Structure 1
Amino acid sequence: MNTVFLLGDSTCAPKEDDTRPETGWGMYFENYINSSWSVRNLAMNGRSTKSFLEEGVFDQCLAELEAGDFVFIQFGHNDSKEDKERYIEPWSTFQGNLACMAESVHSKSATPVFLTPIARRKFFSDGTLLQTHGEYPHAMLSLCQARGYACIDMNKTTFSLLEQMGREGSKELFLHLKAGEHPNYPEGISDDTHLNEKGARVVCSLIIALLKEKYRDFPFLA
């Protein structure tokens, strides 16, 4: 049985019971793929390409990787964080880390697939949606275009979705809870980065739809 590996940050990662209803889109990925394939979600909260590589998580993926597998790589949420564990410049080290991952995956006769980071729900007071990921999505797209890597622009897709839903409507996709609404968040929470169950399902379904539109010959697609 071949495997689709998911690498990335908290927006994709599996969640423990004590953080639910926060949900990573990767938790629903297996619902949309061919039953002859398995999913291995190695995404982790708070990681950038730098920390993901330095902590050895990518090496874990390579150790398990077999010919014919696919590796989804979604980063850009945390690479701009101003700490020495995660920060890297978008047009040099970020692109270099992505290329390193892709070539390592290719060396195992597997296929890398890149995804730009999903948009945050950050609106200006006038209702305009703020782009929070800087140059990182553009750097990923540029690298993929230059080297012919498969890439899905989820930043553009989710940004458009949030704009359409608006400031209030888009809350239903993120971790927004009132005080007393859920035992894990007794005081409530307003989180504009992390998805709830509905948001994760919506994002995952968008990813699958774009894959079928752009890469319909991928063998894991149901």
Structure 2
Amino acid sequence: MSKDDEKSKKNKPKILTKYDQFVIPRLRDIPVWVREGLTDDEIAKRLNIHIWTLGDYRRKHPKFAEALERPTKWETHVYPRLAEIQQWFQEGVDSGVIVKNLGIAPATWYEYIDKHPMLAELVKWSKSVIISRVETSLLKAATGFEYEEIKTIIEEDKNGKKRTRIEKVKRYQPPNPTAMIFYLKNRAPNEWNDRREILIDTKAAELERKQLFLDMIESDVIEAEYEAIEESNYTEEGIDESDA
């Protein structure tokens, strides 16, 4: 190629594609549209390109694909609400209800627990807190406890004027036998469990039966008790004894 050809090639104007004309100038706008919730079809219309062209550009141009990347539900639905999730677990809310509150599928919930140690630790810790609270309440019920009962009393004087009086009474809740039994069976099962396992050595008994059977087969004479019965002939008229 001659120098004149190279020079003319350099001076030749570049043909602009639709990507150069419509997409590159709007690369900063596209992430904003994505956050606003626009679909790919709506974004394509704003860029004056066909939806198929948008898909083609996404495959060919990494910057465009990055601009179109949508946040996951972890970023939009779960991560911003970690404090609420912790509170729900501490209140004893079931995970199925939590999933509905977050607006995600159960499979997505468990996928995020596997992928994000932050969520896994939160779930584990929150469940341990509620379990600890239940154990404390069970122990109190098993050992007995004092509590304060508050009553709000509305009184009316002779003139019909009403006044409110708060009355506090200390009471004692005696130990609950059912709670005591449940606690002891779970905390000290070896001493308090009603279940008793009885192990019977059946192997020795089986060997003894087999040996007895072999002894009977190998024996030349098998003794048996018997009783001799005298034979008689019976006729229609009566008994006809053969030796008569």
Please state which band the TM-score falls in when normalised by the shorter chain.
under 0.3
Q: TM-score, with normalisation over the residues of structure 2?
A: 0.17
Structure richer in strand, relative to its length: 1
Q: TM-score, with normalisation over the residues of structure 1?
A: 0.19
